[in-house]
Amino acid sequence: MSTSAQLRSALADRLTEDGTLTEPEWRSAARTVPRELFTGSYFMPVAGSVPTSYRLVREGKPGWLEGVYSDDTLITQLDGRIRPDDVTEGTVTGSPSSSSTLPSLVLRMWQQLGAEVGHQVLEIGTGTGYSTALGAHRLGDANLTSIEYDPAVGEAAAAALKVAGFAPRLITGDGLRGDPDGRWFDRLIATCSVRYVPLPWLHQVKPGGKILVTLSGWSYANSLVLLDVTGPGEATGRFLPGYTSFMIARPHDRPPRPTLALLPGEERPSRIDPAKLDTWTGGWVAQLAAPSAERMGRGAEQILWDVSTGSQARTAPNPNGGWTVVQRGPVRLWDRVERAVQRWQAAGEPHQEGFGITVSAAGQRVWLGTEDGPGWDLPI
Ligand SMILES: C[S@@+](CC[C@H](N)C(=O)[O-])C[C@H]1O[C@@H](n2cnc3c(N)ncnc32)[C@H](O)[C@@H]1O
């Protein structure tokens, strides 16, 4: 049977060979920090279950340590309250609310952030503390602050970091408000996603500093962006290649909605194939165009529902091989989505690295191609 050190070293080798781990300092962090100290027992999704159910992988049981050193996200809390220790047997359902993110993503992001020893770094979303420990190993305890929203999660992370021999500055609270002491940082990294860039971050990261964060929304689309802070309250950046997604920051989560009820509305042909919304970037473009809507359905049968205004759009195939859309309410959701998708198609359907963002006192605008290209305002 392999030991923790062997499995850890094998994971670091795999991540080096596949090109994820390019910097020796981060390779050393991956080889050193024992992930099992941070995860304990965890939940794994049951393949094919709808809605997704989770099985408990109990600490110390066969397969547990191998799971810890797989390149997988390990869920450690559901619905903001259910922890692995609360479950005794069988499977459980719920929405993941805390986890240890897959090591390849955490390490890739640390490298993309470009943090160096001597930089003051703020991490949002301590979670299990594993990414915090990697950061503390590379940058030093004194240079790292990490904020966790959930007190129980923060407490467990603090205990694990102590056992692992790290002592970064830990804060329990809403990281979207930044550091409660108003300190200045050179770098900010978020391991939860946001609907827009929180304004306090843009006043706590020094001009010349960087923010690495995933923008997401109520239709479940995600995109990782690296922002250069250009002045107080101002930043600009481009979205990065790949397929990065994170659970949404708790204060940015979608509002609760009643059971889906499809209501009558105006019908017309759709000018785009609704299945475009199932593609990674197509879904992202649709979310930019209709940020207050939640997307349900799939393929030709998409449903958009904005509960705050009661606006709905739903598509269906028609007998001629095309599609119809039914819309109701004050926000013509499909009109917006259709226009945005057509613009993206006219640009050749680039992946997200074809997009950028500008943040200023005038608002937050995601643009396609160049700053003066087509754009969409984020809902601040
Ligand atoms: C994907 S997990 C973090 C993974 C973690 N970095 C790790 O490697 O274990 C996201 C975390 O962000 C936290 N979170 C959500 N909203 C937050 C907020 N507004 N401020 C700080 N933390 C937040 C969640 O409670 C959760 O623990």
User: How confident is the model at residue 366, as a pLDDT?
Assistant: 98
User: How confident is the model at residue 15, as a pLDDT?
Assistant: 98
**Residues 186-212: what's their mean pLDDT?**
98
- Computed over every residue of the chain, the mean pLDDT equals 96
Q: Quick check: CB of 156 below 6 Å from ligand 1?
A: no
Q: Quick check: CB of 213 below 6 Å from ligand 1?
A: no
Q: Which atom of ligand 1 is nearest to the CA of 106?
A: 8
Residue nearest to atom 1 of ligand 1 (CA): 99
Q: Quick check: CB of 39 below 6 Å from ligand 1?
A: no
Q: Quick check: CB of 146 below 6 Å from ligand 1?
A: no
**Residues 79-99: what's their mean pLDDT?**
93
Q: Which atom of ligand 1 is nearest to the CA of 150?
A: 25
Q: Which residues share a beta bridge with 305?
A: 294, 312
Angle at 278 between CA 273 and CA 284, to 5 degrees: 100
How confident is the model over 264-293, as pLDDT tens digits? 999 999 999 999 999 999 999 999 999 999
Q: Which of 42, 150, 192, 216 to mutate to test the pocket of ligand 1 (most atoms within 8 A of CB)?
A: 192
Alpha helices by DSSP H, 190-318: 201-204, 280-289
Give residue limits of the domains in the chain: 4-99, 103-251, 256-346
Residue 361 confidence class, pLDDT cut points 50, 70, 90: confident
d(CA 316, CA 268): 11
Residue nearest to atom 9 of ligand 1 (CA): 100
Residue 256: pLDDT over 90 = no
Residue 1 confidence class, pLDDT cut points 50, 70, 90: low
d(CA 122, CA 100): 18
d(CA 136, CA 148): 16
Residue 2: pLDDT over 80 = no
**How far does residue 221's CA lie from ligand 1's centre (Å)?**
18
Q: Which of 82-91, 331-340, 343-352, 368-377 has the lowest mean pLDDT?
A: 82-91
State what percent of residues in the chain have pLDDT above 70: 100
Q: Is the C-alpha dihedral spanning 329, 335, 336, 338 positive or negative?
A: positive
The structure tokens listed for 207 are 């001009």
User: How confident is the model at residue 88, as a pLDDT?
Assistant: 83
Cis peptide before 51 (omega within 30 of 0): yes
- Decide: 337 and 289 in contact? Cβ < 8 Å: yes
**How far does residue 176's CA lie from ligand 1's centre (Å)?**
11
Residues in Cβ contact with 294 at an 8 Å cutoff, skipping those fewer than 6 apart: 218, 219, 254, 257, 304, 305, 306, 307
Q: Quick check: CB of 179 below 6 Å from ligand 1?
A: no
> What CATH number labels 103-251?
3.40.50.150
**Residues 247-254: what's their mean pLDDT?**
96
